[in-house]
Structure 1
Amino acid sequence: MPQEAQARRSAPPDTTAVEAVVPLSDLPVQAQVVHQRILTGGPFRHTQDGTVFGNRERHLPRQPRGFYREYTVPTPGVRHRGARRIVCGGKEMRQPETCFYTGDHYNSFHRIDPRH
């Protein structure tokens, strides 16, 4: 394989998987509740909530490690954590600069517009 093609294959992607902006009011009610809890500092149902989200797949805009934190969005009828999450980024956990919603366990994200 030519060197140039090999370099393209091994290079990390420059794009993100953030597909669109979604109004907060369009998210499931459970996500709206979790978003409000993020702004007030909890309480949260799972010990993993508020932990660092590594963004290893680089689906979100690149930021230093520790910028993003993840929170579980409960799924009705599911006893485990399920696939739904909110990931927020910023210096202040209660005042995130930006938040994203994923309904498919980090495969795709939508930026949350909290004004709607």
Structure 2
Amino acid sequence: MPTEKNISITKSLVLLTVSIVLAISLNQSVALAAVANDAVKAVAALIKSLGQSKNLLQEHQILLRQIGSKVDDFIPYLSSYPKDQRIVVLLGAAEQKGLIKPTEKLRWNHDLLNGKIDEDDLIEMLRANQSSEEVMKSVNAMIPKIKHDNLSSEARETLKLIDNGGPFPYAQDGTVFHNREGKLPTKSPHYYHEYTVKSSNSNGRGAQRIITGENGVKYFTDDHYQSFKEIKP
């Protein structure tokens, strides 16, 4: 009985034979080599693609079964995947946990790929066992924007220090901001960090701060966390 491997090889040889006959019939010796070479490449690429797809599918299924409430254990592993594949895995895990409805997955996938929803929000959903409705309330929180050039010179100077990694004027700079006032989107406990903006009219640290998030987002407050503006380029 012929094996699947033998059948596959036979099909490949048939494809090569047809290509060769076609080239000879056209009496084009150069085309003969090109067509035969393209056929070999096409067969090899197809076999490789099918093999990779199968392996990825198996890995995804294993991840979906194991992620559970320990999503942070899998973040380093998932980071080796392209963004679209990470999203497939994370959305599948959220559906399995009942955090997102099957009818919502397509919209979430679209919004995640287009930056309307941050991947960190999806991870937070799994980490905190939040429903999609709870996550979207945070995502859609109405936080006004302010352009970088419209900030005070002191605030822009603090941003430079943040980009350069210091040196910072206060020991509290770079410490975790716990968002106790709930004015910013709910994130993991160590997601936000705060930095002091020097105030010329204050002897102490004053009321101005810049808050940074792990995904690169930055906020400015001039009333000691009572209101925020998201800093845009």
The TM tier, using the shorter chain, reads 0.7 to 0.9
Q: Which has the higher contact order (CA 8 A, sep 6+)?
A: 1
Q: Is the 8 A contact 1:75 1:81 kept in 2?
A: yes
Q: Residue 108 in 1 paired to residue 227 in 2?
A: yes
Q: Which runs of 4+ in 1 moved over 4 A?
A: 14-18
Question: Which residue does the alignment assign to 1:28?
Answer: 152
The normalised TM-score by structure 2 is: 0.39
Relative to structure 1, the CA distance from residue 99 to residue 58 in structure 2 (aligned partners, 3 Å threshold; closer, same or farther) is same
Relative to structure 1, the CA distance from residue 29 to residue 61 in structure 2 (aligned partners, 3 Å threshold; closer, same or farther) is same
Give the total of aligned pairs: 96
Relative to structure 1, the CA distance from residue 102 to residue 43 in structure 2 (aligned partners, 3 Å threshold; closer, same or farther) is same
The normalised TM-score by structure 1 is: 0.77
Separation of aligned partners in 1, 2:203 and 2:141: 28
- SS for the counterpart of 2:201 is coil
Q: Residue 97 in 1 paired to residue 231 in 2?
A: no
Q: Is the 8 A contact 1:84 1:102 kept in 2?
A: yes
- SS for the counterpart of 1:19 is coil
Q: Is the 8 A contact 1:18 1:111 kept in 2?
A: no
CA displacement, residues 42-91 of structure 1 (integer Å, 9 cap, x when unaligned): 0110000000000011100111011100000011131100000000010x
Identity level (%): 39
Q: Residue 40 in 1 paired to residue 164 in 2?
A: yes
CA-CA distance at 1:18 after TM superposition = 5.4
